[in-house]
Amino acid sequence: MLKRGEESRFTSWYFEIDRKLLFSVLVLILVGLWAMVSAGSVAAERMNPPQPWFFFLVKALPFYCIGLITLLASSALSKQWVMRIAWLNVAVCLILLAVTLVHPTVVKGSARWVTLPGLGSVMPGDLLKPGFIIITAWFLARMEKITGGADMFLSRRAWRWDGWPIYLIAFAFTLGIILRHPDVGTTILYLSVFGAMIFLAGLPWWILPIFGGLAGLAGLFAFFTMAHFKGRILMWLGMSGGADNYQVRKSVEAIKHGGLLGSGEDAFIKQSLPDSHTDFIYSAIAEDSGALLAIVLLGGFLYILKRLADNARGARDKFVFYVAGGVFALFGAQVCINIASALGVFPPKGMTLPFISYGGSSFIAFCLLFGLLIALVREDKWK
């Protein structure tokens, strides 16, 4: 273990950051690299024409390098630089979202991708997550100041043009583009995180049923107007056959076949499991290494959530509190949706398992988000 002796930028960074959170994330990344190679080798063999076992590993390595550098470099930033990166992240991703309206890269029927030179296809909706959480946290902290301690949701000052109206218009515009792709899963995720953050900001309890009713109406509207969304729901309910039912069925079979200790070389169900290296990688891990390791991995996710909750409770700056709460909500929701989909208790949403699934956009976004959070917690605690 390093001991703190002569002050340097490295020692200050090392001893002041949340090392438990950082090391937990690095362990998850290593597990994800192993799982991606194991499940990705099978997915590569199913391609037409078949590809070598290291096909997805080679494609993922640039994203792993960028993500790790981003995680470590951003964790050393000051609050001022965190805000600059967040605004830049939002600006660039909004431009990329606009590109999806005129010149998208369509993957599996969804126009949610943009092709960038040297990186291939990236998903702006994923890359936007760090900026969304940090700017939303900044906005909520700002609303507390400009309302002078009054209710930030109901006071007259909060509803001037520079308050809730400008934020809600920008938020609705962004979600409108994402929903148009169509990408209902990401839309639900953003709404859930936003709901959690305004709840932490003191949203009155009596407003919650109103939000619940609006969410229900939005779900009914999507069900009757979006064939893709309707098909997913009906397939999950077993009222219609199709690819999604096949995916979930094979996912559950893979988990059962793994047993407690895993099937090892006899793990054959993942060979016929679509998206075994992305959406259903948790099932591939369970078949390879068994339910015990899958539970240990779940415990790792829960430990990271505990560290995020501890950072939120210990924050002196309300801005840092909101950021930690937003990261908790995003990370927890995405883990729950992915694993619940793999277990067949939630409709499949095409959502990655953070730091584990193959997916460059999601990986880089989470690395940037956790790096910026670690930097903010460090400055809040020590500066």
Q: Give the pLDDT score at 204.
A: 84
Q: Give the pLDDT score at 6.
A: 59
Dihedral, 368, 41, 31, 290 alpha carbons, nearest 10: 140
Work out the pLDDT band at 174, boundaries 50, 70, 90: very high
User: Could you tell me what percentage of the chain is helix, strand and coil, using 3-state DSSP and rounding each to the nearest 5?
Assistant: 70, 5, 25
The secondary structure of 249-303 as a DSSP string is HHHHHHHHHHTTT--GGG--GGGG-TTTTTTTHHHHHHHHHHHHHHHHHHHHHHH
pLDDT tens-digit map of 2-45: 555 556 788 889 999 999 999 999 999 999 999 888 888 888 88
**β-strand pairing of 105-107 with 120-122:** unpaired
Q: Give the pLDDT score at 348.
A: 77
Buried b (16+ CB within 10 A) or exposed e, 174-191: bbebbbebbbbbbbbbbb
Question: Cα 308 vs. chain centroid, distance in angstroms?
Answer: 14
Helix (H) or strand (E) holding 113: strand 110-116
CA-to-CA distance for 83 and 232, rounded, in angstroms?
Answer: 38
Question: Cα 112 vs. chain centroid, distance in angstroms?
Answer: 15
CA angle (313, 378, 82) in 5-degree steps: 105
Q: Give the pLDDT score at 241.
A: 47
pLDDT tens-digit map of 218-261: 777 777 777 767 776 776 666 654 445 777 888 888 888 888 88
Question: Cα 68 vs. chain centroid, distance in angstroms?
Answer: 16
The better pLDDT of the pair 274, 122 is held by 122
Q: Give the pLDDT score at 294.
A: 93
Kindly report the pTM of this predicted structure: 0.92
